């Protein structure tokens, strides 16, 4: 029976790569859990709060500045020859990393003047760390999408295993020297990310596309494609990922860096659920970009099969997991974690709907749907955080996801066959 199941998994590209992408998430989550547990035991909560606030800000900058190049890779790399492949990837990485560095520098200069909670960015070390961390986030995100484009989930898993293990090893080494500051945490987080990205750039192309190598020649000819990705994929991605990235920033702005540490650990624990449906959605889009006839219902079944058990565990014992960090993390983050787990269901509905409409180039509908959940979530978070503490961010997240899921249901009911009928790309024009 196991042999038959393994054979079916080997032949089912969607399930195989969805599971490998999710395995990447599990590896990152498990080793990330160990990373932050080690950090929480070796560094004061105030320093943890500063480090997580800076990493959250860097992640937000990376999201804003990657220009949608990752989904452009998924759309264009399948079937590309070595020369075109090299030009597409090299130009995308160069332009996105440059845009990230510029936006991160502007953030360092402007953000401390907008809120005192980010006053620590006035320090030269913290400002430099933000720029480096943001570039690292952009590079690792885009390189992951290169592997997704080739349906090479195993390569993506191997890359992220090295990255997560590198962070944990670097943190242990830094703490062993006696350093116990936010700078020590940031150093151990940023350096392995940059090193693994450099190794990937050096050895990855030849394995994914024989004869290819990342180069920046021909960047000018790629600018129109990047502009198209900016207007299509990037705006969809910003609205989709924005709330997840900006919530920790809002927590810092409204409650201070100390509260961010409590929020971040609960959020990280729930991330094992929130990364399932995006993983399946990315695999679904890659399948359709490779002209594979994959029904949306099969993607939904994969999500349901994977989310059920961990959601049950987190609902039953989430506060005890947070208590492994310290009792204060359980007391503050336990209620937040419960709300976040409940939000995983509407979140999955919306992510799969967006993947389906993205594969049909209906970017307008994707943007509108994601805008509803982004605006609802962020606006409510701003209002609820001072009233309910970090749990207010969970209420806002649940409300935003639910509002978007209701809209998906309304579209399906109104259109009847609209989502179910088109199980694979139909060659529709780009509805921008």
User: What pLDDT sits at residue 432?
Assistant: 42
Say how many C-beta atoms besides its own lie within 10 A of residue 305's C-beta. Answer: 13
Please tell me which of 33-47, 80-94, 120-134, 177-191 the model is most confident about, judged by mean pLDDT.
80-94
Q: Is 80 exceeded by the pLDDT of residue 147?
A: yes
User: What pLDDT sits at residue 415?
Assistant: 66
Find the range with the poorest average confidence among 123-132, 226-235, 236-245: 226-235
Q: Is 60 exceeded by the pLDDT of residue 123?
A: yes
User: What pLDDT sits at residue 430?
Assistant: 40
Confidence of residue 142 (pLDDT cuts 50, 70, 90): very high
Q: Under a CB-based contact definition with an 8 Å cutoff, are residues 269 and 33 in contact?
A: yes
Domain range for 177: 13-421
User: What pLDDT sits at residue 431?
Assistant: 43
User: What pLDDT sits at residue 128?
Assistant: 83
Comparison of pLDDT for 279 and 349, the residue scoring more: 349
Confidence of residue 11 (pLDDT cuts 50, 70, 90): low
Q: What is the pTM of this model?
A: 0.70
Comparison of pLDDT for 212 and 430, the residue scoring more: 212
Residue 6 falls within a domain, yes or no?
A: no
Q: Is 70 exceeded by the pLDDT of residue 8?
A: no
Q: Is 50 exceeded by the pLDDT of residue 32?
A: yes
**347-357 pLDDT, tens per residue?**
999 999 998 88
User: What pLDDT sits at residue 428?
Assistant: 40
Residue 426 falls within a domain, yes or no?
A: no
Q: What is the 3-state secondary structure of the chain? A: CHHHHHHHHHHCHHHHHHHHHHHHHHHHHHHHHHHHHHHHHHCCHHHHHHHHHHHHHHHHHHHHHCCCHHHHHHHHCCCCCHHHHHHHHHHHHHHHHHHHHHHHHHHHHHHHHHCHHHHHHHCHHHHHHHHHHHHHHHHHHHHHHHHHHCCCHHHHHHHHHHHHHHHHHHHHHHHHCCCCCHHHHHHHHHHHHHHHHHHHHHHHHHHHCCCCCCCCCCHHHHHHHHHHHHHHHHHHHHHHHHHHHHHHHHHHHHHCHHHHHHHHHHHHHHHHHHCHHHHHHHHHHHHHHCCCCCCHHHHHHHHHHHHHHHHHHHHHHHHHHHHCCCHHHHHHHHHHHHHHHHCHHHHHHHHHHHHHHHHCCCHHHHHHHHHHHHHHHHHHHHHHHHHHCCHHHHHHHHHHHHHHHHHHHHHHHHHCCHHHHCCCCCCCCCCC
**156-176 pLDDT, tens per residue?**
899 999 998 999 999 999 988
User: What pLDDT sits at residue 195?
Assistant: 93
Find the range with the poorest average confidence among 183-187, 191-195, 392-396: 183-187
Q: Is 90 exceeded by the pLDDT of residue 380?
A: yes
State mean pLDDT over 47-59.
83
> Average pLDDT of the chain?
82
Q: Is 70 exceeded by the pLDDT of residue 220?
A: yes
- Unique residue bearing structure tokens 């993947």: 355
Q: Is 80 exceeded by the pLDDT of residue 190?
A: yes
Residue 5 falls within a domain, yes or no?
A: no
Residue 430 falls within a domain, yes or no?
A: no
Q: What is the distance between the alpha carbons of residues 81 and 211, in angstroms, rounded to a whole number?
A: 9
State mean pLDDT over 35-43.
85
Comparison of pLDDT for 195 and 302, the residue scoring more: 195
Residue 427 falls within a domain, yes or no?
A: no
Residue 294 falls within a domain, yes or no?
A: yes
Residue 179 falls within a domain, yes or no?
A: yes
Count how many domains the chain has: 1
Q: Is 80 exceeded by the pLDDT of residue 330?
A: no
Confidence of residue 392 (pLDDT cuts 50, 70, 90): very high
User: What pLDDT sits at residue 124?
Assistant: 67
Residue 428 falls within a domain, yes or no?
A: no
């Amino acid at each position: 029976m196991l042999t038959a199941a393994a054979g079916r998994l080997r032949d089912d590209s969607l399930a195989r790569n969805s599971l490998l992408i999710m395995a990447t998430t599990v590896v990152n989550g498990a080793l990330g859990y160990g990373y932050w547990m080690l950090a929480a035991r070796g560094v004061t909560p105030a320093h943890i709060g500063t480090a997580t606030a800076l990493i959250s800000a860097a992640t937000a900058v990376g999201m804003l500045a990657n220009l949608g190049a990752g989904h452009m890779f998924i759309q264009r790399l399948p079937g590309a020859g070595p020369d075109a492949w090299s030009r597409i990837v090299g130009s995308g990485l160069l332009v996105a990393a440059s845009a990230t560095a510029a936006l991160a520098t502007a953030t360092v200069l402007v953000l401390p003047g907008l809120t005192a909670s980010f006053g620590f960015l006035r320090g030269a070390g913290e400002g430099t760390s933000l720029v480096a961390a943001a570039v690292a986030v952009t590079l690792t995100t885009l390189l992951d999408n290169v592997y997704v484009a080739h349906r090479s989930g195993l390569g993506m898993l191997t890359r992220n295993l090295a990255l997560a293990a590198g962070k944990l090893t670097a943190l242990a080494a830094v703490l062993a020297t006696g350093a116990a500051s936010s700078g020590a945490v940031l150093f151990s987080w940023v350096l392995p990310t940059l090193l693994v990205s450099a190794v990937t750039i050096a050895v990855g192309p030849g394995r994914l596309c024989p004869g290819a190598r990342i180069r920046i020649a021909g960047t000018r000819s790629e600018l129109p494609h990047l502009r198209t990705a900016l207007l299509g994929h990037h705006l969809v991605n910003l609205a989709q990922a924005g709330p997840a990235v900006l919530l920790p920033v809002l927590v810092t702005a409204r409650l201070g860096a100390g509260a961010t540490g409590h929020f971040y650990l609960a959020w990280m624990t729930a991330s094992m659920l929130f990364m399932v449906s995006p993983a399946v959605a990315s695999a679904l889009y890659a399948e359709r970009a490779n002209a594979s006839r994959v029904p949306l219902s099969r993607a939904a079944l994969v999500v349901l099969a994977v989310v059920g058990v961990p959601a049950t565990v987190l609902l039953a014992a989430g506060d005890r997991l947070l208590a492994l960090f310290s009792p204060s993390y359980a007391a503050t983050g336990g209620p937040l974690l419960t709300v976040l787990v409940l939000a995983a269901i509407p979140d999955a509905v919306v992510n799969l709907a967006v993947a389906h409409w993205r594969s049909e180039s209906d970017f307008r509908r994707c943007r509108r749907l994601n805008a509803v959940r982004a605006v609802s979530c962020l606006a409510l978070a701003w209002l609820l955080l001072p009233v309910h503490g970090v749990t207010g961010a969970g209420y806002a997240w649940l409300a935003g996801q639910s509002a978007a899921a209701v809209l998906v249901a309304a579209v399906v009911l109104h259109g009847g066959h609209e989502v179910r009928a088109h199980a694979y790309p139909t060659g529709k024009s780009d509805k921008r």
